[in-house]
Structure 1
């Protein structure tokens, strides 16, 4: 099933219990006393380019692979350096679908996402070779399945296992979560509950291990349910982002630090460049750790990106097509 482009989000209004299994409840309750070192609190994913000052903010780019080649990310680097213009790149998007007969969520890869993954040698490896982390973005698909309505820990873990298997198979660097378009309640699915997202993040971190990234596009019911019985999903997340392009909105995710948050988000094709630069400057000034961009096309975006990367990293962006 196709999904709407994120561009439509700019025109929408910003919007924002089931019984718990005993095993799942005990699992999360036990974790609450000891936050994990990996994910949100771990330093191994971060680290600065300049030891004498705060680390440069991370740049994130989402690529609609239904429309454009993912390998375009590798065309951009910082001037007079071997550093990539983008620190993280999202394959947008795989889906969380719902099997009505089995009554369970499952990972769906559409034709273009599958093509991108199966052609990793030409689509993904050149991006990773530049030093950019590649994540698979997981998006709701109008079928009632989402991260906020797993009925048990076991159900959350089963889906987490599918994501971890995809990361391993395609040698990706992590998973990005986008709780849009789920349409909770469709196909007889449950409404969002208080524990599902926390269970899922715990299961996903366990499956992926400490060295893979888990990022959260802060939208949908999951963003309002990040704490359960004292346990914070933010302890296991690496980054969370503002999902509204052309705006400044710091995510409010307990357990995440300022350096793990992206308050600025821009569409490379529609957001005014002056505003984009202003928000990049503000990102540095207020010490946020991430800057989000969306809709990298097959055109040359280096002029637009240069103002952003000069503010964030002190260098212009250079465009060098790899083919």
Structure 2
């Protein structure tokens, strides 16, 4: 199979542990792969090539959750490379034999979802009308059967002979109340504009909590957070030179990266290490060139060694006023960021915009516009929640060179049970979106297993400000369920014994 016609689904298994009857050929790069449905290179003038596409995300294999109480549904359409001169009709069928061929080609052991358990709207009939290149979407539904394996593969194809890649696959996950699905989809549903970032304090929480938070749209699950910052390494003073220090908790997480970091990455998350001040009078703002070189080396070494996706620089508690500390140099921090970018060109650099360390970043320092060297920035003021640096009178100023879409103007430190406060902040977020403010990133700080809101449906993750406010106005419709029921989604969870949520070391 041509690799250019494949997509890798990297969000299926945590640490390559099989879920029920799912068996992989191996771990690492031997993940499940599907034909993506790319159109073949032709070079043939006058020929029209056809392809069956997934309506939700054209050309990608989808994950369907099949529950006892409601059928799983999906949709597809047929597309041609050029407009047709007359109406053409195609019929889509379920072809169980494709699954066996797929298993042989990819070393997997999926069972086929049965054809008699699949209902195709209009018996699978599709029409491309004259002058058009694609048919109208057609729906299908899958019937729950208790005897089915927990994971099956639905294979659809165009029945009539047609050139091109005309097969489409859906991974079907059976979910019951007794055995909830452990497969968490990738973050971000079609049409989602706002990126969500989660900060996890390893003093209290396992980073794995990030994979459990979900959104639901049209009865389909999507991961909530795309970026995860794990707190925190600190900068200590080693005879006047910066030294990267790891406390017991963050050291445990890093040295057990296969358990705590790789699963997040397999589920599509980007994981960054947060680095903060160590209270010893040395930090990002008072380094000389040698100190910058030392720290950049340590950060890059850590990222490479533990397979991290980048660094979150959060300069707090450096205690620059401590006796004997080097004086603050306004060019130190920008030079560090620039050097770090040059040392890690393919990695993320996320900046926490709080306090004096970043206050002067609205103008170039030493000729360096910080915004040109970072991927994202966010404010971290617990009491304010919503801060728009581009608004008049704002607590923060815009970071020079940074696009507003890369700034986390909403920072939410859970919990906040004051309903009036929550409503006020939601209104601020909504107003900022309507005014064209920076709504490309929202950040949650989650550092305690008790920070779960209790209601009649169980203990739900409370993020009404971020989800409702930031998503409002994106024309996504009213069918987004932002509540996340931990009792249903995380096996072994209850309020008194947090289980998978709190740290397990």
List per-residue Cα deviations over 1:77-136 (Å, max 9, x = no partner): 221445321121111111011112xx2001111000001111222212222222221111
Give the aligned partner of residue 221 of structure 1: 356
Structure 2: gaps spanning 5 or more residues: 1-187, 390-397, 454-459, 492-499, 501-505
Q: TM-score, normalised by structure 1?
A: 0.76
- Do 2:195 and 2:225's aligned partners in 1 also have CA atoms closer than 8 Å? yes
Which residue is 1:205 aligned to? 341
Q: Indicate which of 251, 255, 264 corresponds to 1:118.
A: 255
- For residue 194 of structure 2, the aligned residue among 41, 47, 57 is 57
State how 1:283-322 maps to structure 2 within 5 Å: 284-285=433-434, 286-298=437-449, 300=452, 302-305=460-463, 308-313=466-471, 314=476, 315=480, 316-318=482-484, 319=486, 320-321=489-490
Q: Aligned to 2:427, what secondary structure does the other structure show?
A: helix
Does residue 259 of the first structure (1) align with residue 428 of the second (2)? no
Residue 430 (structure 2) aligned to one of 267, 281, 284: 281
CA 1:271–1:56: 2 relative to 1, 3 Å: farther
Residues 255-275 of structure 1: CA deviation (Å, up to 9, x unaligned): 111101111111111364434
Q: For the aligned residues, what is the CA RMSD?
A: 2.3
Aligned position for 2:205:
68
Partner of 1:38: none
Provide the secondary structure at the position in 2 that maps to 1:157: helix
Displacement of 1:141 in angstroms is 1.3
Q: How far did 1:241 drift?
A: 1.0
Structure 1 residues 98 and 187: CA distance shift in structure 2, 3 A: farther
Aligned to 1:98: 237
The aligned residue for residue 8 of structure 1 is: none
Offset of 1:317 from its aligned partner?
4.5
Task: Say yes or no: does 1:159 pair with 2:295.
Answer: yes
Does the 8 Å CA contact 2:214/2:224 hold for their aligned counterparts? yes
The Cα offsets for residues 227-260 of structure 1, whole Å up to 9 and x where unpaired, read as 2233211110111111102412234211111101
Deviations 1:10-55 (A, max 9, x none): xxxxxxxxxxxxxxxxxxxxxxxxxxxxxxxxxxxxxx8656xxx6
Q: Could you say which residue in structure 2 is the equivalent of 1:194?
A: 330
| Distance in 2, Cα, partners of 1:283 & 1:161 | 40
Gaps of 5+ in 1: 1-47
Structure ID, larger Rg: 2
- Name the counterpart of 2:70: none
Give the number of the structure whose residues are more often helix, by fraction: 1
Alignment pair present for 1:168 and 2:301: no
1:107 matched to 2:238: no
CA distance in 1 between counterparts of 2:224 and 2:464 reads: 9
Separation of aligned partners in 1, 2:235 and 2:324: 16
Contact 1:84 1:132 in 2 (8 A): no
Cα distance per residue 1:139-166 (max 9 Å; x no partner): 10110111111122x3212201111111
Counterpart-to-counterpart distance in 1, 2:308 and 2:272? 6
Whole-angstrom CA distance in 1 between matches of 2:365 and 2:464: 42
> Contact 1:195 / 1:225 at 8 angstroms: preserved in 2?
no
Query: What residue number does 1:87 align with?
Result: 226
Once residues 375 and 425 of structure 2 are traced to their aligned partners in structure 1, the CA distance between those partners, rounded to angstroms, is 24
| 1:134 lines up with 2:271 in the alignment | yes
CA distance in 2, matches of 1:214, 1:282: 29
Aligned partners of 1:236, 1:221: CA distance in 2, in Å? 19
TM-score by length of 2: 0.50
Please tell me whether the aligned partners of residues 208 and 263 of structure 2 are also in contact (alpha carbons under 8 angstroms): yes
Conserved? CA contact 2:388–2:438, under 8 Å: no
Of the candidates 373, 385, 388, which is equivalent to residue 250 of structure 1? 388
Deviations 1:208-231 (A, max 9, x none): 11x211111112332034322332
Q: What is the CA–CA distance in structure 2 between the aligned matches of 1:253 and 1:185, rounded to whole Å?
A: 25
Between Structure 1 and Structure 2, how many residues are aligned? 269
Q: Which has the higher strand share?
A: 2
